[in-house]
Structures are given as C-alpha cells and as structure tokens.
Amino acid sequence: MSGKWQLKDHEAERQLFLRRLTIAAAIVMLLFAALIAKLVNLQIYQYEYLSARSDGNRLHSQYAPPARGLIFDSEGALLADNQPIFNLTVIREQVQDMDATLEFLASLISLTDDDVEQFRNRLQRNRVPFSSVTLRYVLTDEEKSKIAVNSHLLAGIAIEPQFVRSYPLGALTAHSIGYVSEVNRRELDSLSEEQRENYGGTNHIGKTGVERTYEQLLHGTVGYEIVEKNNRGQVMRRLDRTDPVAGKNLSLHMNARLQIAAEQALGEFRGAIVAIDPATGGILAMVSKPGFDPNLFVTGISSKDYSELVNDVVNTPLFDRSINPYPPGSTVKPFIGMAGLQHELVDYEFAIQDPGYFRLPGVSYRWGDYTLRTAIGGGHGHTDLKKAIYQSCDTFFYDLGHRMGIDTMHGFLSQFGFGDNFTLDISYARTGVLPSRDWKMESRGEPWYPGDTVNSSIGQGYMWATPLQLATATAIMANKGQVVQPRMLKAVDGVPFEPVTDNPRQDISVSDPDYWRYIHESMTMVVHRPYSDVFRDYGTAFEAIAMADREMPYKMAGKSGTAQVVGISQEILSSEDIEVSDLNKDHGLFVSFAPSMHSQIDPQIAVAVFVENGEHGSSVAGPIAKAVIDTYLLDILELDFAELDRQAEAELLAADRMVAQSND
C-alpha cells in the first residue's frame, strides 16, 4: 500500500485530467458529427430513394375483380347466379410453419387430403407475394366461428367472402350452360398480355358451354385499388380505387321451363333433346342426360367426385350427348325424299312395288327392310314417297338413294347442316359425318361403293349426325328451306344480340315450293295417319302419339328413327353391374316440328330426341318429343288452338264466299 501514501501533485493531476476531459469532449463532438453526417446522408441524399421504399412498403396495388355477368333464360329466370360464400385463405408469407398450421386447422374443421393437395397446387402457381390463396371453399357458419375463436393461433389464415357461380338448375344445364372453374396454368398462358392483366383478380374462368363461349362478355373488366397495408399485410386504408366493370348479363333463347320439361320427359332414359325455335334458330332447350352437378366444379371438385363422374362408363355423365353424333337412321328420310323431288328422281305419282328388300343390279345381297324386322313379312306393297315417309319404307329409299348417287345426296343434305357445324355460338359441337367420296378416301383410304350409298340413304353406314344437327335440319325443314343457324345467346344486357358470322349459310331453294308442303304433309302423316283397313298404311308414330292423345289440339310433323348400336367397349362388356343386352339395344330417335300444316301459324318449335338404347324411335322417342312440344306450345306460348282453328275456318268461309261471289 505504499502508493497510497506517495506525495501527490494535485495541480499536475488536475491538468492531466482536464487534458483528458478535453480530448474526451473532442471525441464526443467528432462522433456526433459522424452521426449527423450519417443522418444527413439518409435524410437528404437518400431521401428520394428511401421515401420510395417506404411507399413501396405500405402501398399495394390490388385487383378488384369484376362481378361475372349473370345468365338468364328467355323469360328472365336465372340460369347462372353469383352467390356469396366464405373461403378459408392463407397468406403463405405470414405462416410460420405451414405443416403445423395445416395440422391444427384439420383438427378444427374438416380438411381432406384432397383440399390440402389442391391448395399446394395453387401455391405452386405464380402469384403476387402476400396474396391470399384459398385453402378451402365454402365454410359453414360453425367452421367460421371455430376459425375466428382460434384466430390468434392462426397467423396468415383468414376467412374471405367471395362471390362464386351457382347454377340453380344444376345438372339440367351442366352441358349447355357449362360451368366455371379455377383458371389453370394453361388457360392463363393462352391469354394475351392484356387479358392476363384483366384476369389478375379473377379465380374462375368459363370452362364449357355458354360460360366458355361468352367468357369475354361475362367476365367484365378488372378494377384496381391502391391500399395501405401494414407489416402483417392487413389493409389499413383504401387510398385510390378504379371500379371494376361488371360482366354483361346474358339472356339466352333457352327456356328454363322447357329445359326442365325436356329433362323430365326423358324419364329414366339416357339421351339428349334439342329444341330450336325455327324462326330464329334460338335453342329453346338442350338437354343431355344424365348430367352432373356443375356447382361441384366451381369450388374445385374433389378427386373422388371427379373419378366417380369419369369412371361411370355406362352413364358417362360428363359426355354431352346433344352435340355428339350417332347414326341418324330413318330420321334422314324426309330430307332424302326432298332431294329426290328436287332432282326429279321421284314425283308425287312415282311409286314402287315393295317386295320387302332391295337388291343392287347384279348383286345377290338383299338389303332388308329394318322397319319390318318384326312384322309379318313381305313388303309395303305399292309405295309412293309420302307412304315411304310415314311408313318409313327402307326399300323405297334404298332405290331412291341408289338412283340419286352419293354426290347428289351429299350436296343436298349438306344444305341442312349435316356434316357441318351451323351453330353461331356452339363452336365445340361435333360435325358428325355426311359421307362423300372424298371423305371416304380421306378417312378410310377406300373408294366409294354403291352399297355405301344404299346404307346412307336410310341414315346408316357412314352417316352420323348429332341431335343438335337433327334439330337444326328439322327446323330448316319446318321453315321450308329458310336456313336458321342455332344460337344460344338472345340478348346482352337486354339489347338483342345479332351475331356476326363470317360464314352465312344460304337458304335452300327448290324448283317447286310445293315440295315443302308435300314433305310437311308426309311428316305430319307419320304422327297423324290413323290405322285403316289398308295394309300398312298408318303413320309409324300414330299409335304412340296421336292415338295416345286424341285431344291433341294441333298437328305435329315428325319422323322416327332407329340407330344400331355400333360398338360397345370391352370395358363395358366386362362390367357386371349392367345387363349387356340393354346396352345392345338400338338407339331411338325422333325429329319433329309443330304446329304443322296450320294455316294460321308457322311451326314454332323443332325438336330432336335421342334416346340411348331406347330400342324404338316412334314409340319411345316420339312421345318424349310430343311432351316437349306440348309444354312449349300449350304451357309456355299458351297458344289457343281452338281460337286459331276458328279463325282458320272463318277465313276459309270468307274465301269460299269470295270465290262464290266472283263466280256469280
């Protein structure tokens, strides 16, 4: 402890301390100067840059998706609506541990592996950072409250309301209206740069049917809003907003009541019905049965539901029968007859003696009469064109077709839309086959044989047509050659829609307009020519239609058809659930328009009915067509045929009086 007692020079020590204190003060000032320099650098020289970074932190431009246009039927009933649902969404950037969070959520609400898988797929897609991705659609109230209670444990998880499509008629419009579903990568890639921008806030896009055809009209224009978000991505304020422009509301020619009636008329059968307004070509009803619930697809169909739909090889609910081709069978006979008249291969007097079969010159093979397979043998006897139509005499048409040749047949029938897509807005409809020499050479590599013509003349062989095509051809027939092109869309936002087509079809002109009346009469006799003492001289559909309903206030023209089942896949044959014999049954077809042969009113509706494995055209498909026509004429148009008939009578009387007066 010697140091403690050493002599201290207090003044020297004070001077030493003060020197040190001065140095310390100088260092303090230096350091403050450095600090201020740093702040000046940040707040003056880097101000612009850091200011922009600050705005970039908080200001976000986000899309305001437009409301999708609604779809109405011709009477204003909703076919496609927008309904609010509540979705569980995730902002990935804010979730600490995705697996743990998903596990926790699964303990709160039902969350299938499927949901999780779809969610992970959505995460894979290109997306804006801090945007929300849907984990599960359509939360129930109970699930919403469970999430809300646990929200403090669920960072990055939110419940977001969303408007999604709903289809009130469900399976009834699954094929014709189609459905929307989540936009996929491929669809996004196919959009132009501008369109992609427009889809920035949109999750759904029309996948099939009207929803797809008129996607552009229905979608609308995206809006934008500038929002201020905090560090957790919550929107604090809306600073600027460009409102989205809602999609256009579409009105269709389709009539919901008729659509329902058509679906019910098919009963337990699989099949398709297409009804067209001959005046406009507007599609009044278009049913393919069985359908499926399109609402399932809107919020992401589960793979279980989807595989059920896909694996149902018998009912094939996803398959749209109304626009897929089948052999049209005898339903083509009126058109071939018309071709015969126009090309003067037959006239009103021409008749054959039908032995019940047809033989090509020099060929021993006999083409039998299918319609007589179960009848008592022999032919139809003396048969003219009219009888050949209402009795559906194959032999007559074998002969006519053979004499006509495939080139004439092809040329004439193509005017009715066979082998072609006449529609204005159903681009995805199949064209079927209207065979020709070129077609056969191209697709089969074989020349055309005369026997092919014989088969084609009764709508078998290579000839294939869709129910939609049959309805179209029937409508043109009802119009006496004035071509109408089938269309779904009637009006956009209440303004009548006039589609532009770059390929307008020519009206069919025939040398004598009376030919139309003649065919109309023949087709009317299919339904209305009663049984008589004369052997085989009744309409094939008389019993099933006119006889079944003797009170029928109007006349309808029709033609039945039966199409052979062409091939059944091995898969179906090996299935144990169904009786294969049922699937081997012929398809029943019926084309019709009504009212026919009416002096006061033109045909109002043309219908094609296709009944899969229905076995008979006239007895099975015929009454179905009549039910559809009844609903349209009597319930929907509410035509008063008694009154119309009275008018017709009065006119007739007046005309008679005129004739009588002029004779005086």
Partner 1 sequence: MINQDFGRQTTSFHALKRHGAKIWRVLHTDPPLLVGILLLCGFGLFVLYSASDGDEVMVRRQTMMMVVGLVVMFLVAQFNVHFYRRWAPSMYAAGLGLLVLVLLVGEVVNGAKSWIDLPGLPRFQPSEIMKFVVPMLLAWYLASRPLPPRFKHLFWSALMIALPVGLIVLQNDTGTAIMVFMSGVFVILLAGIRWRIVITGLIAGLLASPAWFVFLAQAHQKNRILTFFDPSRDPTGAGYNIIQSQIAIGSGGVYGKGYGNGAQSHLDFIPESNTDFILAVLAEEFGLLGVLLLVCLYLFVLVRGFYIAYAAKDMFSRLLAGSITLTFFLYVFMNMAMVSGLVPVIGLPLPLISRGGTSVVTLFVGFGLLMSIQTHDRKRYS
- Residues contributing to the site for partner 1 (CB under 8 A): 3-4, 6-10, 13-14, 16-21, 24-25, 28, 31-32, 34-36, 38-40, 42-44, 46-47, 49-51, 53-55, 57-58, 228-232, 236
In DSSP notation, 264-315 reads HHTTT-EEEEEEE-TTT-BEEEEEEES---THHHHT---HHHHHHHHH-TTT
Judged by beta carbon, residue 54 or residue 511, the one nearer partner 1 is 54
How far, CA to CA in Å, does 366 sit from each of 359, 399, 409, 648?
5, 12, 22, 48
| Cβ atoms of 450 and 461 closer than 8 Å | no
Residue 631 token pair: 């609903």
Judged by beta carbon, residue 8 or residue 304, the one nearer partner 1 is 8
CA 287 to chain centre: 10
CA-nearest of 233, 221, 277 to 91 is 233
In angstroms, the CA 239 to CA 190 distance is: 33
Judged by beta carbon, residue 47 or residue 348, the one nearer partner 1 is 47
CA 215 to chain centre: 12
In angstroms, the CA 534 to CA 192 distance is: 69
Judged by beta carbon, residue 35 or residue 375, the one nearer partner 1 is 35
In angstroms, the CA 590 to CA 544 distance is: 12
Judged by beta carbon, residue 76 or residue 129, the one nearer partner 1 is 129
Main-chain dihedrals φ then ψ at residue 275, nearest 5 degrees = -120, 135
Q: What is the 3-state secondary structure (H, E, C) of 450-491?
A: HHHHHHHCCCCCCCEECHHHHHHHHHHHHCCCCCCCCECEEE
In angstroms, the CA 277 to CA 260 distance is: 17
Judged by beta carbon, residue 24 or residue 653, the one nearer partner 1 is 24
| Cβ atoms of 593 and 482 closer than 8 Å | no
Pick the catalytic residue: 330, 560, 618, 619?
A: 330
| Cβ atoms of 115 and 303 closer than 8 Å | no
Judged by beta carbon, residue 29 or residue 123, the one nearer partner 1 is 29
In angstroms, the CA 79 to CA 210 distance is: 11
Nearest distance from C-beta of residue 235 to partner 1, angstroms: 11
| Cβ atoms of 640 and 553 closer than 8 Å | no
In angstroms, the CA 350 to CA 400 distance is: 11
Main-chain dihedrals φ then ψ at residue 248, nearest 5 degrees = -80, 145
- Show Cβ contacts of residue 91 under 8 Å, excluding neighbours closer than 6 positions: 130, 131, 132, 133, 156, 158, 233
Judged by beta carbon, residue 1 or residue 642, the one nearer partner 1 is 1
Relative to beta strand 250-252, strand 71-72 is parallel
Judged by beta carbon, residue 14 or residue 517, the one nearer partner 1 is 14
**Active-site residue, 569 included:** no
Catalytic residue positions? Answer: 330
